[in-house]
Structure 1
Amino acid sequence: MLLERIYDEDLAQASYFIGCQRKGEAVVVDARRDISPYLELAAANGMRIVAVTETHIHADYLSGTRELAAATGAEMYVSGEGGTHWQYRFEAHRLHDGDTVALGNITLKAVHTPGHTPEHLSFLVTDGAFSKDPGYLLSGDFVFSGDLGRPDLLDEAAGGVDTRFEGARQICRSLQQKFLTLPDHIAVYPGHGSGSACGKALGALPSTTVGYERLCSWWGPYLAANDEQGFVDDLLNGQPDAHAYFGRMKRENRQGPAVMGERPELEELTADDVARGLEETGITFVDTRPHTAVHAGTVAGSVNIPAGNKTASFGAWAVDPETDSRPLVLLAADAAAAREMWDHLVRVGIDKVAGYTTSLEGLPSYNPQRILPEDLAGFDAALVLDVRNKTEHIDGHIPGSSQLSAGRVLWNQDQLPAGGSIVTYCQSGVRNSVAASTLRRAGFDVVELEGSYAGWKQWKDAQEA
């Protein structure tokens, strides 16, 4: 059996390629939409992808199940559990608790493990060439290394009302009735790692075991003491902010994400092309440089989505394709860099990219306004806004500031003053630059705090020394 983990550092998301060498067939679990890694793995190992499936209706990224099936002709399998309200709305084979997907010597057995979502499945994997018993569990967003999937996302992102409490109780029962009934040696491969917003304290290890989690998890003592209420309270306490785009991901993943097919190469645009698009407000210009470079000068009306490991996350904070149909123009070093960024963006459903340019020369310039920490007290701000997570704000913040995380500002403009200057900050400046550029594009007068909270704290400590 071949088992490969394909990990996306951007969204801290893991998908899995499982293949039977004897038969030359493979299944992919929880695929993302830029599908080349799976096609390359199949080609390198002389395999055909014959099945694609997923653990649940995802909230943090757009599923690649339909994209990969369209490209390979593979059969699609999705959960049929969770009740009528949580059914997928596209054609695919429905899996229920105990159902199997077989390819060659390998069997994936669906295990209904609700809590994170009502329809959630985990998959027990058996390598029949080695043993008649399962050896692996693909746990999706149920059990992570050192943590559990959060049960509050339906409230936070899908319009639910107090579903978190029943979700937490369901996770407790899923642990008792499904997870802890498995042998200790079962290797557990979760759907996310450290940095994901699908839990509050995910470990960075790519896998764990049933036995290790049984002995060392934070939740073990609650279950041993049969303390369901203590478990629920601890699980729900301190969960990070849910990004606003999660609601869009839920809707699109349940409906069935659009199939893009083979994407053409991006066109390199001239300065005249870009300037014309900006003048006609027909494009959104994306400055992909670090915030320090952006502060030295950028394109008027642009948004800052730094290239790198968090492009998809930052892009989904700054661009809402449901309300803004303008295609993006990317600032990129070359065609390969532009394509890589586009690959990240399609993972969160930002598909419309008109092309790229390699320079700011000839484009309307703008220098983002900033303020030093020592000048903040005397500045007439309509609002000082902390765009970090609420847990960070609780741990320490600038007195008098309000909190609204960077992943939520675009969707909560009614919480912001209609007039006057808004001073924004995060921890170091990266998230702040994304949020500030997004708000400026929406028409707000935004001033960024130089050095953000870390800079303000250093200045404050020096004053008190």
Structure 2
Amino acid sequence: MYFERFYHTPLAQASYLVACQSTGEAVVVDPARDIQQYLNAAEREGLHIVGSLETHIHADFVSGARELYDTCNASIYVSGEGNDEFSTYTYDEGVSLMKEGDTVTIGNIELKAMHTPGHTPEHLTFKLTDYSRSNQPMGMFTGDFLFVGDVGRPDLLEASVGVAESAKEGAKQLFHSLERLKHEPGFVQVWPGHGAGSPCGKAMDAVPVSTLGYELVSNPALQFEDQQSFSDFLLDSQPVPPPYFSVMKKVNRDGAQLIEETKSAVSFKDDADHLAKLADQDVQVLDARMPEPFSNGFAPGSINIPYVRIFTEWAGWMLDYERPIYVIAPEANIAGVVKELRSIGLDQVAGTFNEQVLTNFESSERNLLTYTTVHAPDVADEIQNGTLQPVDVRRSSEWEDGRVPGAVHEFLGDIDEWKSEHNEDEPLVLYCRTGKRSAIGASILRNEGFTNVRNMDGGFMAWKAKYDVEKD
């Protein structure tokens, strides 16, 4: 058997290529939209991809199942266990529906579906057996059902698409699905769909693989004997899901558009005149440079989402799926930025500019906006004497673990709600863990006319290395 794990770090998303080497047949479990990585692996190993398997309708990334079908004629195996409009696939080209006990066989390898509802009503887990070695199962592709150190959150249908009371029902289903695992061999490996950092759970471990036996004794969510205690634990303190999750549920339910069917972005390179014209159009200008260069001069109206690990998730938080996007980034990063946007279905990138466009913009007697980037020692005295208001834009769980003394908690994802509660001339310093998320907030506030906003580079991590922190 051939087995390879692929990991998309920005979304903490795992996918897998499994093959029977005796026949050369391969399948991909939970493929991302970037299928070239699977094609490259298959070519390298002399394999032919004949199918893709989806554990559920994903909310956090665009599935690559349709891309694989279009490129390789790879059959699409999805759940037929859905019971409502958000758990039932609506496209059928190349699709085979799977239910409890159904199997996909490639050579000596069998993938058997287990219906494991809870995270979503239709969720399947695929139990893999390599009959060339044993009649016992080797492992399970658990998708968003079971993670290393955590389980899938059952509240996404309610939190993201408004299915009333589905969180409690999902928690109940998840408890009973997990009970099934107690009847499986403890040596079975667990191959989850996500790792640490994904908002599809609240406490995932960064370890990529585990065993069922180890999870049964160590996973906090698997230590409950009664369903109500489990539900109370699971539904408490789940992170706020990004708003783009509701879009992804519909895209993956209905079948994602093929990348070749989307429009390609026009490269405007350093054309400052074209950048200036965008000010009068209903478009979004995304500047993906690092925070400090951005703060030293940026096009009015542009939002800064730094092209680092947080980029993809926060693009999903901040960008509108209905309006064209224009990207400003260093030339070497432009292709990667567009690729990341496509991974969550932001396909409407109309044009790109390299960073030289900003120099040309300013040289043509047009004004760039600026704000001040600071470090903790620069502002410690002002914060401690109360003349500068620290604004913590992190999630609630981060805030509760410790914060800058005197800070107010204003979650970045809710900035449209809280920005009006501050005066435009109020001295504010935004911070997050390291200064990247707070840079997004600073760019938004500066465009809204806030004249005394600053961003703390290094964020809370730099602050707590030198100064006292506040904690409940």
TM-score in terms of structure 1 length: 0.87
Match of 1:183 among 170, 181, 185: 185
- Structure 1: which amino acid aligns with 2:342? V
Equivalent position of 2:365 in the other structure: none
Equivalent position of 1:26 in the other structure: 26
Partner Cα separation in structure 2 for residue 427 and residue 16 of structure 1: 31
CA contact (8 A) 1:58 1:249 kept: yes
- Structure 2: which amino acid aligns with 1:221? Q
2:453 counterpart of 1:447: yes
1:233 deviates by 1.7
Q: Which segment is superposed worse, 339-348 or 191-200? A: 339-348
Match of 2:163 among 160, 164, 176: 160
Give the 5 Å matches for 1:89-238.
89-91=90-92, 92-177=95-180, 179-222=181-224, 226-238=225-237
Q: CA RMSD in A?
A: 2.9
Equivalent position of 1:331 in the other structure: 329
CA contact (8 A) 2:296 2:372 kept: no
Partner Cα separation in structure 2 for residue 16 and residue 32 of structure 1: 10
Equivalent position of 2:414 in the other structure: 409
SS of residue paired to 1:205: coil
Partner Cα separation in structure 2 for residue 442 and residue 70 of structure 1: 45
CA contact (8 A) 1:20 1:103 kept: yes
Partner Cα separation in structure 1 for residue 469 and residue 143 of structure 2: 47
1:190 deviates by 0.4
Equivalent position of 1:461 in the other structure: 468
Partner Cα separation in structure 1 for residue 30 and residue 319 of structure 2: 24
SS of residue paired to 2:90: coil
CA contact (8 A) 2:279 2:301 kept: no
For the structure 1 residues 105 and 15, does the alpha-carbon distance in structure 2 shift closer, same or farther, using more than 3 Å as the test?
same
CA contact (8 A) 1:82 1:118 kept: yes
Partner Cα separation in structure 2 for residue 274 and residue 396 of structure 1: 45
For the structure 1 residues 245 and 385, does the alpha-carbon distance in structure 2 shift closer, same or farther, using more than 3 Å as the test?
farther
- Structure 1: which amino acid aligns with 2:73? G
CA contact (8 A) 2:446 2:453 kept: no
Question: Unaligned 5+ residue runs, structure 1?
Answer: none
- Structure 1: which amino acid aligns with 2:78? V
2:362 counterpart of 1:355: no
CA contact (8 A) 2:327 2:334 kept: no
Partner Cα separation in structure 2 for residue 78 and residue 116 of structure 1: 16
SS of residue paired to 2:183: coil
Partner Cα separation in structure 1 for residue 318 and residue 84 of structure 2: 33
Partner Cα separation in structure 1 for residue 450 and residue 172 of structure 2: 43
Equivalent position of 1:87 in the other structure: 88
CA contact (8 A) 1:388 1:405 kept: yes
Equivalent position of 2:12 in the other structure: 12
For the structure 1 residues 301 and 374, does the alpha-carbon distance in structure 2 shift closer, same or farther, using more than 3 Å as the test?
farther
User: Would you say how many aligned residue pairs link Structure 1 and Structure 2?
Assistant: 450
SS of residue paired to 1:137: strand
1:284 deviates by 3.6
Q: Which segment is superposed worse, 239-248 or 141-150? A: 239-248
SS of residue paired to 1:206: coil
Question: Unaligned 5+ residue runs, structure 2?
Answer: 363-367
For the structure 1 residues 195 and 399, does the alpha-carbon distance in structure 2 shift closer, same or farther, using more than 3 Å as the test?
same
Partner Cα separation in structure 2 for residue 191 and residue 446 of structure 1: 43
Partner Cα separation in structure 1 for residue 286 and residue 55 of structure 2: 33
For the structure 1 residues 379 and 362, does the alpha-carbon distance in structure 2 shift closer, same or farther, using more than 3 Å as the test?
farther
- Structure 2: which amino acid aligns with 1:332? P
CA contact (8 A) 1:387 1:403 kept: yes
Partner Cα separation in structure 1 for residue 240 and residue 137 of structure 2: 36
Q: Which segment is superposed worse, 185-194 or 58-67? A: 58-67
SS of residue paired to 2:230: helix
